[in-house]
Amino acid sequence: MAHIDDYSFGSMTIDGHAFHEDVTIVRGKAAGGWWRKSGHLAGIQDLKDVVAARPKVLVLGTGSSGLLQIDPALPGLLREQGIELIAQPTPQAVATFNRLAQQSLDVAGAFHLTC
């Protein structure tokens, strides 16, 4: 399972690899370049790889100040797929992701690294 080593505004280090753009972690593999169709709004279409992987939990980091919005339909759509959504400002989301991963829970992450 992936481990987030460090997060600061605009930067995240996962298992020793630095990312400077929004990032997802699915099945223990980190990938940079997570872009949303509507910029600062996360919807189901923006998380297709996460939904396809069917984790038990998705930890969504909403940015340093929590400015990334969540499509109101997203929690219900994820719940229908059996995926629990935990959305928090990115600093708190990092701690939540690491805690759940350390417990060997099937957890995925999507993190907005700025605002």
Give the domain extent around 103: 4-112
Q: In 3-state terms, what secondary structure has residue 108? A: strand
The CA-to-CA distance between both ends of the chain, in Å, stands at: 27
List for the chain the helix, strand, coil content (%; round to 5).
25, 35, 40
Residues 21-37 have pLDDT tens digits of 999 999 999 999 999 99
In this structure, the number of other CB atoms found within 10 A of the CB of residue 7 comes to: 22
Residues 55-88 have pLDDT tens digits of 999 999 999 999 999 999 999 999 999 999 999 9
pLDDT at 1: 85
Total domains present in the chain:
1
pLDDT at 60: 98
Give the helix ranges, DSSP H, for 56-103.
74-80, 90-102
Indicate whether 39 pLDDT > 90: no
What mean pLDDT is predicted for residues 3-20?
98
What CATH number corresponds to the domain at position 103? 3.40.1230.10
